[in-house]
Amino acid sequence: MNIVVLGAQFGDEGKGKIVDLMTPKFSWVARYQGGHNAGHTVYVSGKKFVLHLIPSGILHDGVMCVIGNGVVVDPKALFKEIDELAGLGIDVGDRLLISDKAHLILPYHRELDVLSEARRGERKIGTTSRGIGPAYEDKIGRRGIRVCDLVDTKALADEVRANVDARNQIIKDSTLDWTQVYDELLASGARMRRWTGDVSLALDQAMRTGQRVLIEGAQGAMLDIDHGTYPFVTSSNATIGGACTGLGIPPKAIQGVLGVAKAYLTRVGEGPFPTELCGEIGERLRETGMEYGASTGRPRRCGWYDAVAVRYAVRVNGIDSIALTKLDVLDDLKTIDICTGYRIGDRTVTEFPSDLNTCGPITPSYESWPGWTTPTKGATSYSQLPAEARRYIARLEEVSGVPVGLISTGSDRHETIIRDDSVVARWLN
Ligand code: GDP
Ligand code: IMO
Ligand code: MG
């Protein structure tokens, strides 16, 4: 049974923790999109690991970790991550397989990302400045460079020279030398070679022999290039379709979809956020939840759970069950609100609008629920939760249109509740 774990909100839902805790039941863990804009945090017995490009399954011995063709790979970021993991006692060894069709983030993509943001001025996206957008632009524009292209050939030289020339025309007074970029790429290719191969073929062979694959999304549904709050999105398909195109696997290979959602909501970067709390409660959520970006350290914007958005993520992705994270962050609140609809002008909207960015002022319609004001931190069974917390979860299930099969009550692996009768329990059996 192969399961996809993906973000049902604006990213940073806690996917890394969930993937890590599920990994022991799988032989492979595979990333299908995004790049090192992702920051997936995993705590193991108090020790912190932040994964950016390498799947969050890497902390478990014997598990194969895959970077699919849909991911954009910055070789420097990859090597840094591999070296940092080694420093923390995790040897990647031969447990990494990078698709030979994955596109590369080149040294100047980062610069173009920053430049593009500066040009947008007040309309900036608030990107992670990792060069993600420009790398995907080159891919779609059919001038990208793939992992399998990193051999000393005339074709690579021609492509690099043309790309660097084009870039030098965009960036004023730039004199970047294409041969320098070319030499760096060859060196990266040489170091990467031991890990590269045909991901689609390897996964197909693994699945045929009954090995299970856990598929790890980055970002979240509302940051998806097609289905998110465009243009305030990332440049890839974080939603379910990306899993097939980004790994070269058919839809039938996927048996379940677990959507990860926080018990409230956060967003980092610009863009619409109807339930954002700019006052004291927002501040409290940020401090209690330690809501600072795992990649960039930026403070995350915080707000109430938006059931309109999660319901949409459930529909677009075919989510079977929600992993509800950070319940413990709400422990101190006397009342907790849930957004069940939006008021836009004189309309009441319950389906996530395509034009959220331009539709004018949005007033969320809220239900207020009593808080539990008792610690849930570290709870490992559903019955341990206070009645008000159970009622809150039951209401989230109703308004989100999907059961909550897993509840996370802290950042450590073990601070987790898996509900007995849930599909998640069945997947992990
Ligand atoms: P990801 O990008 O979806 O993997 O999420 P991030 O790692 O960027 O952000 C989630 C943060 O919340 C990380 O610092 C996690 O360690 C932390 N976290 C995950 N689950 C819980 C939880 O249930 N409670 C608390 N307090 N923290 C959690
Ligand atoms: P994980 O996998 C939260 C956001 C950026 C910005 C927008 C575009 O940790 O959940 P990009 O650099 O991708 O072009 O930025 O997307 N963003 C994320 N927000 N979590 C992430 O990843 C994100 N990756 C990108 O802040 O608003
Ligand atoms: Mg993150």
Q: 247-299: per-residue pLDDT in tens? A: 999 999 999 999 999 999 999 999 999 999 999 999 999 999 999 987 788 99
Integer angstrom CA distances of residue 64 from 55, 58, 222, 314, 343: 9, 8, 29, 29, 47
Q: Which of the residues 36, 40, 52, 227 is marked catalytic?
A: 40
Residue 165 CB neighbours (<10 A): 11
What is the rounded distance in angstroms from the CA atom of residue 366 to the CA atom of residue 288? 22
Within-domain flag for 95: no
Same domain, 134 and 223: no
The structure tokens 């790049």 sit at 35
The answer to whether the CB of 71 falls within 8 A of the CB of 34 is yes
Q: What is the pLDDT of residue 175?
A: 80
Q: How far is the CA of 322 from the centre of ligand 1 (A)?
A: 15
Same domain, 117 and 149: yes
Q: What is the pLDDT of residue 294?
A: 77
Indicate which CATH number applies to the domain containing 136: 1.10.300.10
With a 6 A CB cut-off, is 12 part of the ligand 2 pocket? yes
CB contact set of 186 (below 8 Å; sequence gap of 6+): 150, 151, 152
Q: How far is the CA of 429 from the centre of ligand 3 (A)?
A: 27
CA nearest 207: which of 428, 2, 424? 2
Number of the ligand 1 atom closest to the C-alpha atom of 38: 2
With a 6 A CB cut-off, is 292 part of the ligand 1 pocket? no
Q: How far is the CA of 327 from the centre of ligand 2 (A)?
A: 22
With a 6 A CB cut-off, is 41 part of the ligand 1 pocket? yes
Q: Which of 133, 161, 194 is the last residue of a domain?
A: 194
Indicate which CATH number applies to the domain containing 259: 3.90.170.10
Same domain, 205 and 178: no
> Measuring from atom 6 of ligand 2, which residue has the nearest CA?
127
Same domain, 236 and 306: yes
Q: What is the pLDDT of residue 170?
A: 84
Residue 111 CB neighbours (<10 A): 18
Tell me which ligand sits closest to the C-alpha of residue 10.
Answer: 2
Within-domain flag for 154: yes
With a 6 A CB cut-off, is 220 part of the ligand 1 pocket? no
The structure tokens 């030398």 sit at 177
Tell me 36's DSSP state. T
**The two three-digit tokens of residue 360, written as one number:** 């004018």
CA nearest 65: which of 111, 119, 15, 20? 20
CA nearest 275: which of 322, 325, 219, 343? 343
Tell me which ligand sits closest to the C-alpha of residue 296.
Answer: 2
Q: What is the pLDDT of residue 125?
A: 97
Within-domain flag for 97: no
With a 6 A CB cut-off, is 216 part of the ligand 2 pocket? no
Same domain, 354 and 326: yes
Q: Which of 194, 212, 232 is the last residue of a domain?
A: 194
Q: Helix axis angle, 107-120 relative to 154-170, nearest 10°?
A: 30
Residue 151 CB neighbours (<10 A): 12
- Could you give the 3-state DSSP secondary structure of residue 424? helix
What is the rounded distance in angstroms from the CA atom of residue 216 to the CA atom of residue 71? 11
Same domain, 253 and 344: yes
Within-domain flag for 190: yes
Which residue from 10, 12, 17, 18 has its CB within 8 A of the most atoms of ligand 1, so it is best to mutate? 17
Number of the ligand 1 atom closest to the C-alpha atom of 290: 14
Number of the ligand 1 atom closest to the C-alpha atom of 325: 23
Q: Which of 194, 223, 238 is the last residue of a domain?
A: 194
Look at the chain and report how many structural domains it folds into.
Answer: 2
User: Would the CA dihedral through 321, 327, 329, 332 be positive or negative?
Assistant: positive
Within-domain flag for 259: yes
Residue 231 CB neighbours (<10 A): 12
Residue by residue, DSSP assigns 61-110 as: TT-EEEE-TTBEE-HHHHHHHHHHHHHTT---TT-EEEETTPEEPPHHHH
What is the rounded distance in angstroms from the CA atom of residue 160 to the CA atom of residue 291? 40
What is the rounded distance in angstroms from the CA atom of residue 420 to the CA atom of residue 412? 20
Tell me 412's DSSP state. B
Within-domain flag for 96: no
**The two three-digit tokens of residue 39, written as one number:** 């920051």
Same domain, 410 and 283: yes
What is the rounded distance in angstroms from the CA atom of residue 358 to the CA atom of residue 117? 20
Q: What is the pLDDT of residue 201?
A: 98
With a 6 A CB cut-off, is 126 part of the ligand 2 pocket? yes
With a 6 A CB cut-off, is 262 part of the ligand 1 pocket? no
Same domain, 136 and 246: no
Q: How far is the CA of 148 from the centre of ligand 1 (A)?
A: 35
Residue by residue, DSSP assigns 229-256 as: STTSS-SS--STHHHHHTTT--GGG--E
User: Would the CA dihedral through 74, 149, 194, 56 be positive or negative?
Assistant: positive
**The two three-digit tokens of residue 105, written as one number:** 């983030």
Longest dimension (CA), the chain: 68
**The two three-digit tokens of residue 375, written as one number:** 């610690």
**H helices within 238-317, ranges in order?**
241-245, 280-288, 307-317
Same domain, 333 and 260: yes
List the domain range (segments joined by +) for residue 63: 3-89+199-427
Number of the ligand 2 atom closest to the C-alpha atom of 271: 27
Same domain, 176 and 291: no
What are the two backbone dihedrals, phi and then psi, of residue 192, each rounded to the nearest 5 degrees?
-80, -20
Number of the ligand 2 atom closest to the C-alpha atom of 12: 10
**The two three-digit tokens of residue 240, written as one number:** 């379910």
Within-domain flag for 144: yes
What are the two backbone dihedrals, phi and then psi, of residue 362, each rounded to the nearest 5 degrees?
-115, 130
Q: How far is the CA of 89 from the centre of ligand 3 (A)?
A: 22
Within-domain flag for 174: yes
Tell me which ligand sits closest to the C-alpha of residue 50.
Answer: 1
12 is catalytic: yes
Same domain, 185 and 206: no
pLDDT below 50 — which residues of the chain?
none
Same domain, 211 and 338: yes
Q: How far is the CA of 403 from the centre of ligand 2 (A)?
A: 27
40 is catalytic: yes
Residue 144 CB neighbours (<10 A): 21
